[in-house]
Copies of this chain bind each other. A is one copy, B any other.
Amino acid sequence: MSSQDARFEIAHLATAELLTPDLEGSLWFFTTLLGMRETGRSNGSVYLRCYEDPYSHSLKLTESDKPGIGGLRWRTTSEDALNRRAAALSKAGLGKGWTAGDLGVGKTFAFDTPDGHAMELVWDIEKHKATGAERSPILNRRSKRPLQGLPPKRLDHVNIMASNVREQRQILEQTLGFGTREQVVSGDDEFGAWMSVNILGHELAIMKDQTGAKARLHHLAFYFGIPQHNTDFAEICREYGIQIEAGPDVHGVTQGAFLYVLEPGGNRIELFGNAGILQLEPDWEPVVWDLEEFATGAGLAVGGTVMPQEFLLYGTPAVTGQEAMFRQQARDSNYDFRAIKVP
């Protein structure tokens, strides 16, 4: 099955499951600082949504002994597309079969990427309908902007680490129709790929896991859509004990306005301050950055940010020796975040 048949079959990233060894701390981060609303609990997981997320949740927080990505769920553009993609994944040997779904989510088709990241495809999913005081007079908005913290609008994208970027990229192009928008290469070696199924600069990025570990998360990103809010949220992180890794600044790659922080569970979270470049051209040819140019030129940062070494190495779960990169400031601070009451 060629990638041409797969084009226009996936619509967008619908939900992500994040594993955390500190469920209470992670919940505090996402609800108290980022104003996400809890929409359900089940089997030790907590379901959350941003105020413009279309479905009942975009984030599922699950307690675990280590941080990491539990799973990513992509919505297809139709029910037929779901069945076609399930067949393609099975044929490629990645399919794991149909599941009964999740809270607000109907049956899904489960598969693993070559590197081992758990993913699902879904068509049947419950839309969020705000009622009463939660309804916004801005009718295209799924619920009112919360008054707590600094709320992002929606889940934006995910960046995963893989030991073999090329293999990972090609299989996702072929089976799911992802378009590759930008790449970082070093000689023959592929170091990174930014991919999307729509005009976004990326919904999925893959970065080389130089530690040799498998199926790790680089970061999960939420969308402010307002460049200033990255500066505002950096201030909040500084004041409330959340470790800021880098930013606010703007990547050359994707032109995304970034802020990277580590949530109390240890996962890297990006706040995305603008839409980045929107690639409207149907025949966009991948932009190729040389690794050196990427790292020291405009690729990683347009402004003066020098990315810390850990940015290219740290992922979750951390490999041996990386644990110290996450300083857990929030837990060490004398700020009793558990005493904060959220409306």
Contact = CB atoms under 8 A, between A and B. Distances in A.
Per DSSP, chain A at the interface is loop
A37 interface: yes
A147 B274 contact: no
B239 A138 contact: yes
Interface residues of A, number: 94
A126 interface: no
Given A255-B140, A281-B54, A287-B139, A342 B339 contact: no
Interface in A280-305: 280-282, 287-289, 297-299, 302-305
Interface in A237-295: 238-240, 244-250, 252-255, 257, 259-260, 274-275, 277-282, 287-289
Interface in A217-247: 225-229, 231-232, 234-236, 238-240, 244-247
A198 interface: yes
Contact of A234 (B37, B302, B336): B302
A271 B314 CA distance: 33
Contacts of A249: 234, 248
Contact of A305 (B147, B225, B304): B304
A288 B236 CA distance: 22
Given A75-B282, A228-B228, A298-B137, A32 B275 contact: no
Given A281-B11, A336-B133, A33 B147 contact: yes
Contacts of A32: 147, 343
A240 to B, nearest CB: 8
Interface of A: 7-8, 11-12, 31-33, 35-38, 52, 54, 75-78, 127, 132-133, 136-141, 144-149, 154, 181-182, 198-201, 225-229, 231-232, 234-236, 238-240, 244-250, 252-255, 257, 259-260, 274-275, 277-282, 287-289, 297-299, 302-306, 308, 334-336, 339-343
